[in-house]
Chain A
């Protein structure tokens, strides 16, 4: 059987109850037994002392009688030999003492041991000189003796007393022979079933007993001396004395104490017995009262039996109770086990329903809560796993991208030692990847760079932990110079400690050359295109100035004006194109100064007033007083922004429309809102309006002139000055443009060209 917790618990409890029960039963058994035995001993000794008193009384009467006879003057005289007293009278007199038929005979014995007178005539003339009682009494003692009748085979009791002459000489012995029935009756009367009562003589031979089998047997083995004495006395009339298996030293007891209680083992019958031994008065008799121990063990067994029964029953009850409790408490555990197995199989939906009303409900709830949490955890882990798989895929893609990038990408440790370099690094610098790894860029393609620049970079990235970006002239392995746009970013551990450095470099030598060529072209174009335009412009201007002196007609004057305005448009276009090329090169100057934005706005608005008036446009201006009075702005750039937006608004708003300009500020930005009720921008083209040379379809049709560069330039400027631009527009309803510029102003930018 599998040793489950349940069986372990049950068996251990049952075994404990059983063992303690057994120990209890055994100890109670022995306790009870010894209590009963000691009670029995007391009982026995008190009983036997009662018996002994009775015996003593009876036997004492015998002694008294013999003494009374011995002192009777008539008998003394008779014994002295006074022949005047007839034998008949003496015999009569002796009969007189035999009251109540207690005595079978009373008689007088001469000093030579011959019976002189007796109530039993057959005794007369008999020689009793060898008898114990005679021998003792002739010496002057009062004696008691027994002997077994030769014919009757019954024990007889003799009481004798010396008869003394008036002079004090012992002249004979008076004897009373008691009928054995008197004593035997007494024994039988006091007999109880369970007892064996034995009367023994001073040699330990049973004289009488309620158990006839033991009569005339000795308690122990007789020694030779005693046997001889008994044979000589002929006490037992040739009856063979057989020993009983009592090992009681009656004789020894006789010499010391009057009584004793013994527990003995009857080997023959295999019985334990309690034996009380008492001396009867001063007489040479002992009374043995004997009981079987079984009698006392029996109640002990009975009590123990009932006790065992009770303990057995309670053990049984305990077992049932324990099984019940174990089931009650362990069943939920069983459910828990099943639940745990289910969960270990991955079935997180397993619900435990413990229908108990105790603390285990809490356990069940905790279990269910746990399984729910496990389920969530498991699904989270699953999600995480998928995530990390995705991450690995992404990382692989990322690595592929980095490996194949045309820009140099290098990862260094905080000491600037290269940990990774992509293939482009080898291509650009001329060193092999093997030569680069584990080395410092400052020993390779940065080897000729000014120490000041190296220190600056390590200061920015290493100490300030900021991104460095700049253009540096570097040297390839073969010494060839090249210009690189360098971007160096610190990767911080927990936003504190520098862990890695990512370096991205782009070889811009070629693009630099292209830039230079572009710049030269711009200068050339600027000069070569603008010169003829200037000449045309100035001559036309002069002609128009002098029209009155010259005397043009209306048509001629009209033509001249058209030449002038077209030429002017051409100049604007060239200027715009120049600005665009400068913006694209990123080489335009941003030169912020403290200016008054309000004043600039007003002046730009003033520039457009004639056009506004001409188109009869309702113009509204809302400039909030909370505006900063002074700002760090490049006035030229700020003007270009406002000019372009306002000029667009006017261009693309039909006559009698409305235009409003609103200038506000929030915490960080200046906000300019220019709203018109113009043609608006078609939704499909709204995403393109900041691209170069874009012109919306709807305005191309309405003859409005435009370069398609204005918004592109505005957006480019704002991109370089931390500003923003966006708009809302609906076709035929109008457009609203929003522009923000940081309140703290524009940042200075060095460049080659100013925008015009």
Chain B
């Protein structure tokens, strides 16, 4: 009997990226929830309570920073760890994200996909 799969919510407007991440994480034995903007992501996060959220910043409808702020408002008790996964590298973005309660801040282009998975596993292990 397999142990219970960890559930990850990936919020990403770029289809190709969403797919590659989904493929990779499922391959690695995660259960993946998908959202294409902040608003969708916020609903799923509140309703399904995933173990971890990978969040892009620039998205239509609702961007990552707003979603992070909203999530913080609505969450009570244990918080779902959020990793910002973006291609923005501005110092102010990083600072703001950490201020809003993001757990980590990764720049996509500078990480191998396997390293992203490793990071996620590390954080989940830490929490558990």
A residues whose Cβ falls under 8 Å from a Cβ of B: 523, 526-527, 530-535, 537-539, 541-542, 545, 571, 574-575, 578, 589, 751-754, 756
Within 8 A of A (CB), among B63-97: 86-92, 94
- Given A526-B87, A752-B90, A754-B90, 4 new contacts (CB under 8 A): A527-B58, A534-B87, A541-B112, A751-B91
Which residues of chain A have C-beta atoms less than 8 A from B87's C-beta? 526-527, 530-531, 534
Check B20–A539 contact: CB distance below 8 A. Answer: yes
Closest to B57 in A: A527
Chain B contact-residue range equals 20 to 34
Which residues of chain B have C-beta atoms less than 8 A from A530's C-beta? 87, 108-109
How many whole Å from A578's CB to the nearest CB in chain B?
Answer: 7
How many whole Å from B126's CB to the nearest CB in chain A?
Answer: 23
Closest to A753 in B: B90
How many whole Å from A517's CB to the nearest CB in chain B?
Answer: 15
Check A542–B90 contact: CB distance below 8 A. Answer: no
Known A535-B16, A542-B24; contact A574-B109, beta-carbon cutoff 8 A: yes
Contact flags B11-41 to A (C-beta < 8 A → 1, else 0): 0001011001101100000000000000000
Closest to A546 in B: B27
How many whole Å from A294's CB to the nearest CB in chain B?
Answer: 140
Known A526-B88, A751-B91, A753-B89; contact A534-B109, beta-carbon cutoff 8 A: yes
Q: Is B107 an interface residue (CB 8 A)?
A: yes
Q: List 5 A-B contacts (CB under 8 A).
A: A527-B87, A530-B109, A531-B87, A538-B113, A753-B91
Which residues of chain B have C-beta atoms less than 8 A from A753's C-beta? 89-91
Interchain residue pairs A-B with the least CB separation, the first 6: A538-B113, A530-B87, A530-B109, A534-B108, A754-B91, A535-B16
A342 to B113, CA, bound (A): 98
Which residues of chain A have C-beta atoms less than 8 A from B110's C-beta? 571, 575, 756
Q: Is B114 an interface residue (CB 8 A)?
A: yes
Within 8 A of A (CB), among B91-128: 91-92, 94, 107-110, 112-114
B residues whose Cβ falls under 8 Å from a Cβ of A: 14, 16-17, 20-21, 23-24, 58, 86-92, 94, 107-110, 112-114
A531 to B23, CA, bound (A): 17
Check B14–A754 contact: CB distance below 8 A. Answer: no
How many whole Å from B87's CB to the nearest CB in chain A?
Answer: 4
How many whole Å from B29's CB to the nearest CB in chain A?
Answer: 15
How many whole Å from B34's CB to the nearest CB in chain A?
Answer: 16
Which residues of chain B have C-beta atoms less than 8 A from A531's C-beta? 14, 17, 87, 108
A496 to B21, CA, bound (A): 68
Check B91–A752 contact: CB distance below 8 A. Answer: yes
A535 to B91, CA, bound (A): 24
A537 to B107, CA, bound (A): 13
Which residues of chain B have C-beta atoms less than 8 A from A538's C-beta? 17, 20-21, 24, 112-113
Of A532, A539, A542, A756, the residue contacting B107 (CB under 8 A) is A756
How many whole Å from B65's CB to the nearest CB in chain A?
Answer: 14
How many whole Å from B64's CB to the nearest CB in chain A?
Answer: 12
Check A542–B109 contact: CB distance below 8 A. Answer: no
Which residues of chain A have C-beta atoms less than 8 A from B21's C-beta? 538
Check A589–B14 contact: CB distance below 8 A. Answer: no
How many whole Å from A516's CB to the nearest CB in chain B?
Answer: 13
How many whole Å from A288's CB to the nearest CB in chain B?
Answer: 154
How many whole Å from B54's CB to the nearest CB in chain A?
Answer: 13
How many whole Å from A550's CB to the nearest CB in chain B?
Answer: 13
Of A527, A542, A589, the residue contacting B20 (CB under 8 A) is A542
A534 to B116, CA, bound (A): 12
Closest to B108 in A: A534
A726 to B61, CA, bound (A): 52
Which residues of chain A have C-beta atoms less than 8 A from B94's C-beta? 754
Closest to A538 in B: B113
Check B88–A571 contact: CB distance below 8 A. Answer: no
A402 to B33, CA, bound (A): 67
A494 to B72, CA, bound (A): 63
How many whole Å from B17's CB to the nearest CB in chain A?
Answer: 6
Check B89–A526 contact: CB distance below 8 A. Answer: yes
Of A537, A545, A589, the residue contacting B109 (CB under 8 A) is A537
Which residues of chain A have C-beta atoms less than 8 A from B89's C-beta? 526, 578, 753-754, 756
Which residues of chain A have C-beta atoms less than 8 A from B90's C-beta? 523, 752-754
Check B113–A752 contact: CB distance below 8 A. Answer: no
How many whole Å from A124's CB to the nearest CB in chain B?
Answer: 191
A545 to B24, CA, bound (A): 11
Closest to B90 in A: A753
Closest to A534 in B: B108
Check A534–B112 contact: CB distance below 8 A. Answer: no
A334 to B113, CA, bound (A): 108
Which residues of chain B have C-beta atoms less than 8 A from A535's C-beta? 14, 16-17, 20
Check A545–B91 contact: CB distance below 8 A. Answer: no
A116 to B113, CA, bound (A): 212
Check B23–A575 contact: CB distance below 8 A. Answer: no
Closest to B87 in A: A530
Which residues of chain A have C-beta atoms less than 8 A from B24's C-beta? 538, 542
Which residues of chain A have C-beta atoms less than 8 A from B113's C-beta? 537-538, 541-542
Closest to A567 in B: B109
Known A523-B90, A527-B88, A589-B91; contact A533-B109, beta-carbon cutoff 8 A: yes
Which residues of chain B have C-beta atoms less than 8 A from A542's C-beta? 20, 23-24, 113
Closest to B14 in A: A531
Closest to B89 in A: A756
Which residues of chain A have C-beta atoms less than 8 A from B86's C-beta? 527
Closest to A578 in B: B89
A123 to B92, CA, bound (A): 189
Which residues of chain A have C-beta atoms less than 8 A from B14's C-beta? 531, 535
How many whole Å from B43's CB to the nearest CB in chain A?
Answer: 25
A589 to B94, CA, bound (A): 13
How many whole Å from A636's CB to the nearest CB in chain B?
Answer: 11
Most buried by A among B20, B21, B107: B20
Which residues of chain B have C-beta atoms less than 8 A from A752's C-beta? 90-92
Which residues of chain B have C-beta atoms less than 8 A from A571's C-beta? 109-110
A39 to B69, CA, bound (A): 154
A538 to B88, CA, bound (A): 18
A420 to B3, CA, bound (A): 82
A751 to B94, CA, bound (A): 13
Which residues of chain B have C-beta atoms less than 8 A from A574's C-beta? 109
How many whole Å from A535's CB to the nearest CB in chain B?
Answer: 5
Closest to A579 in B: B89
How many whole Å from B24's CB to the nearest CB in chain A?
Answer: 6
How many whole Å from A198's CB to the nearest CB in chain B?
Answer: 157
Check A534–B91 contact: CB distance below 8 A. Answer: no
How many whole Å from A587's CB to the nearest CB in chain B?
Answer: 9
A533 to B87, CA, bound (A): 10
How many whole Å from A724's CB to the nearest CB in chain B?
Answer: 26
How many whole Å from B112's CB to the nearest CB in chain A?
Answer: 6
A487 to B86, CA, bound (A): 39
A751 to B16, CA, bound (A): 33
Which residues of chain B have C-beta atoms less than 8 A from A526's C-beta? 87-89
A527 to B107, CA, bound (A): 10
Which residues of chain A have C-beta atoms less than 8 A from B20's C-beta? 535, 538-539, 542
Closest to B13 in A: A531
Which residues of chain A have C-beta atoms less than 8 A from B109's C-beta? 530, 533-534, 537, 571, 574-575
Which residues of chain B have C-beta atoms less than 8 A from A534's C-beta? 17, 87, 108-109
A67 to B16, CA, bound (A): 205
A541 to B23, CA, bound (A): 13
Closest to B86 in A: A527
Which residues of chain B have C-beta atoms less than 8 A from A539's C-beta? 20
How many whole Å from A606's CB to the nearest CB in chain B?
Answer: 17
A545 to B112, CA, bound (A): 11
Most buried by B among A531, A539, A545, A578: A531
Which residues of chain B have C-beta atoms less than 8 A from A541's C-beta? 112-114
A531 to B109, CA, bound (A): 7
A533 to B113, CA, bound (A): 12
